[in-house]
Each structure stands twice: as C-alpha cells, then as structure tokens.
Amino acid sequence: MSISRKEAIIILIVVLSLSAITFATKFYGGADILDYADSAKFFSGTYAAKLRSSHSLVYGLLHAPIVGLTESLIPFKVTSLILLSLLTYSVYLASNRNKKALFLMIFSPIVWYMAPWISPIQAATLLFFWGYIRMKEFLKTKSVKQIVYAGILIGSSWALWDGVLFFIPLLAISFLYNKKLIYLFYLIGAIIIGVLPRLIIDQYLLGFTFLGIMRHILASLNIAIYGGIYGQGSLVGISKFIITILFIPFYTYLLFAKKAFKENKETVIFLILSTILIVFNSQIRFTLIIFPIIILTLSKYLTSKKLIIQLAIFLILSIIVINPYILQIKYQTNFEEFSSIPLIYNNLQFKEEFSSDLIKQDILEISKEYPNETFIAGNNYESYRFFANSYWGDEINEIVSIEDYQLNDSSNKKVFEKEYCSHVKISERRDFCTVIYIRKAFNDATNYSSIKYAITGAEEIGLSDFKFVKKYRILSLFEKTDN
C-alpha cells in the first residue's frame, strides 16, 4: 500500500518533532552512557582519564573520529535518529509495506524514549531484527545460507551491545528446538564470525580475546545478585517492572490466540522467553530489542478499531515519555526520564543552570589556572568519569579516581572480592572454593606521589593531606600539603 500525501505529512511532522526534541534536550541517557561516551573520547584522544568500561568498546570506537572532530557528543544523537529511522523503515519493509506497522513504530513510546540516548541498543536492535527475519526465512526454506546470514547479523549485533548475549539462546531455542543439531552449529559459527571484530579489538587492546565479554557477564551477575560492587542497586522491583511493561503493546495478547500462535509459534515462544528475561532485568531500553518483532507480528492481527486504540495508547505514553526531555531543554530536573517517574511524588526539583554546564566551565577554568597538572577526582569513585567526560582540551594531564589514589597507597589493591564455596551437605573433610576479585591494574603508570591537586563537587575531599584552596561554581579545588 502506498503512503498518501496526508500520511506522508504526518510522518514528516513526527520525524521533525522527534529530531527537534532529541537535539534540544540536554538529556543524553541514563545507565551505561558513560561507557560509550568515554570510549569514544578515549579513542579520539580527548579523554583525560583511564578508560573503565564493562561494555563493548566497538560502538565508542566507531564514533571516535566524529566525536574527536566535533569535540561533542551530539554525533551520538545523530546516529540514534538515523538508526531508529532505519529500524522503523525495516519493519515497514518486512511487513510488506503494511502501514499499520509503520505508524505503530513512529508513534511507539520506546522510539521516542530511546531517541536522545547514547547507546548501541538502537544499532544492535536493527541488526538483530534482520537476523530474526533471516531466521524466519530459514524456517521456510531450510537454507543453510539463511541461517548463516542470521548468525552473522546477530553476532554483529552482539559485537555492539553486550545485552544481545542474553537473547541469543532464547532465539536459538525458539527456532531450532525441533531441528537437526547441525543447524545450531551453523548458527553458532556464523555468530562467531559476526562478533569477530569485537574479539579482535579486545585481544589487541585488552590482551585477552574474551575479556570484554567475561567482564560484562560477571558485572551483570554481580549487579543482579549483589547490587553491584558500588551498591548501584537491584534491577528488579515492582515499580520498575510496571514502568517497563507499559512499553509492550497492549494488544500483544492477540498473539496467544490459536490462529496467531499457530502461524507464529517460534516467534511467540521467543517473545515469551524474552519478556521473562526483561521482567528479571526491568530496564525500559531492553524492550527495544523485541519491540520491532512484536510490531511486525502484531500488525497482521489488528483491526482498524484496535489499531486506533493502540495508537492512542502509544500517543499518550509517548507524550508522557518526552515531557522530561522537553523540561530539560531549559531546566535541570531530578525527573530526567520516564523510569524516574516515582520522583514526581517526592521532591521534584528544577534548576535553570545545568550542573553539567557548570562543571564543564569549572574544569576549563581550572585547566587554565593549573595547566599540565594531574587531578584527583572525588569524592565518589566514579566522579572522575563525569569530570573527564565534561572536559575537552589538552591542558589537563590526567584526571584520577580517588579510589585509584587510595589503592596506590594501600597494600591491598583489590576493589572487590567474593569467595564461592561448595558447602557439601554430607560428612566430608573438604569443601571446594574459588575466589574472584577485581583489582587495580598492574600496568598503571601514573605517578601518584607527584599529584598536587584534587577536585570535587563536595565541600571536603576526604583526604587528610589535602587542604581547601578555592571554590568554583560547583567544584572545589584542594592542594596537597607538605606534611
């Protein structure tokens, strides 16, 4: 079906509105955005700190040239809009140009939610979606070529975003549970080919091919079980689950009808398993990976009446979703995005000046007054990342985490340690134990004893041998005493 002039105008208005909000808001995303922004700055040579990332370095590396050239993170927003547009058009093409699928995509709250985010999920979802399409083609044709294409696309998706790893087994189970085992080996081999660029980069930069993947798996398990090594908190919760599940189309239940389930059995099984996974990792952005598949499948079963109702629900949610972004065009608020909606009931705050802008000004001023110096960043262990991310220039030698500074003077270089033991139940003489720990890097060449200055957003630095020197807009400068 061709798109009418009226429909084309609606699409154009939606695209322009989404673009305007994305570029105007000062919001760049929440969880993990520093991992991708930091790596882009690091590879572009504009990052004045040591890199610490528990996610794939590929997405940041791909953005490094343009980030370094523009000295800005805006290119990430450009990429996000392009990828979401391609994803929407891909669903439209895969649905045989079904306008229902097209309009469900452009009005979907998850698209509006993810538009300003620095995240590889948009790119990973696009590749994963086409991998899914190839898996469907495999079911029709039993062609090895199709499953190889699917594996390469899915592997490439995983190379960009670690979260894909948890969806790969679910897709394999759903589509290959009753197929010959050889097809699973074809899929695994093709996935390895797809993820190969990441493995090569990790081998070259980290010295171990699978270190990046292992690091992410262990970090995810740590957060799920212990709430993170810095007490980040659990990803599971009733409010988080309810907020996340709102982004799943209301009429998804139609896919469980006898006719729809029979026609899309493998897809529905995958969606069920994926939804269970998302329940245990309640983050709105995770729903994007399955959303295009839901829309592609669901659009065939929506009547005109149900389509209007679903679009109305999407429109209401999308308006609510973008409100925090619109507010952050002019004001800094603690209601940054939809998942922080509970804050609206408790101490909602507005500031006309953005802390990020003030920190950027402070660091620039400090770099002019104290050029070619190394600064300890406190008081939080992650503060150095915010400061280094805000600084664009070459007059600061390095911004060092207060944690690394303290570890350097300590005989214990471990950041986190956990012992796992078997705890046998019968009367035996031995238990088997293993210890996993994270420690300060062995090849840290920073001369910590020569550091003379420290910066923090607090009134105290928490280091007994540093005294207060000067207060800037937000940051405070401290100098090391002779004692």
Answer yes or no: is 221 within a domain. no
β-strand pairing of 433-439 with 414-421: antiparallel
Answer yes or no: is 448 within a domain. yes
Answer yes or no: is 400 within a domain. yes
Residue 420, domain extent: 355-480
The predicted pLDDT at position 439 comes to 87
What is the rounded CA–CA span in Å between residue 388 and residue 21? 26
Residue range 320-354, pLDDT digits in tens: 999 999 999 999 988 888 877 655 556 778 888 99
> Among all chains, which residue has been given the structure tokens 């993820």?
195
| Greater pLDDT, 392 or 411 | 392
Residue from 68, 191, 64, 175 nearest 127 by CA:
191
Inform me whether the pLDDT recorded for 382 exceeds 90. Answer: no
Q: How far is CA 278 from CA 106, 244, 281, 327, in A?
A: 23, 8, 5, 29
The predicted pLDDT at position 398 comes to 96
Q: To the nearest whole number, what is the mean pLDDT of the chain?
A: 91
| Greater pLDDT, 373 or 409 | 373
Answer yes or no: is 430 within a domain. yes
Instruction: Give DSSP secondary structure letters for 27-61.
Output: ---STTHHHHHHHHHHHHT---S----SS-SHHHH
Answer yes or no: is 362 within a domain. yes
The segment with the largest mean pLDDT, out of 253-262, 279-288, 378-387, 402-411, is 253-262
- Phi first, then psi: give them for residue 482, nearest 5 degrees: -80, -10
Reported as a pLDDT band with limits 50, 70 and 90, residue 210 is confident
Inform me whether the pLDDT recorded for 128 exceeds 90. Answer: yes
Residue range 225-263, pLDDT digits in tens: 666 555 555 566 677 788 888 999 999 999 999 999 999
What is the rounded CA–CA span in Å between residue 314 and residue 107? 6
Answer yes or no: is 231 within a domain. no
Work out how many domains the chain is built from and give that number. Answer: 1
Burial of 477 per CB tally in 10 Å (0-12, 13-18, 19+): buried
What is the rounded CA–CA span in Å between residue 16 and residue 282? 30
The average pLDDT across 105-123 equals 97
The predicted pLDDT at position 448 comes to 93
Inform me whether the pLDDT recorded for 64 exceeds 80. Answer: yes
Number of other residues whose CB lies within 10 A of the CB of residue 384:
26
| E strand or H helix at 119 | none
Answer yes or no: is 404 within a domain. yes
The runs of H, that is alpha helices, within 72-120 are: 74-94, 99-106, 109-114
What is the rounded CA–CA span in Å between residue 92 and residue 273? 25
| Greater pLDDT, 440 or 122 | 122
Query: What is the token pair recorded at 208?
Result: 């171990």
Residue from 478, 91, 82 nearest 298 by CA:
91
Amino acid (one-letter) located at 480: K
- Phi first, then psi: give them for residue 314, nearest 5 degrees: -60, -45
Residue range 174-209, pLDDT digits in tens: 999 999 999 999 999 999 999 999 999 999 988 888
Inform me whether the pLDDT recorded for 357 exceeds 90. Answer: yes
The predicted pLDDT at position 348 comes to 77
Answer yes or no: is 368 within a domain. yes
What is the rounded CA–CA span in Å between residue 111 and residue 121? 11
pLDDT cut 90: percent of the chain above it = 73
Q: Is 437 strand, coil or helix?
A: strand
The predicted pLDDT at position 216 comes to 81
Neighbouring residues of 115: CB distance < 8 A, sequence distance ≥ 6: 18, 21, 22, 77, 80, 81, 84
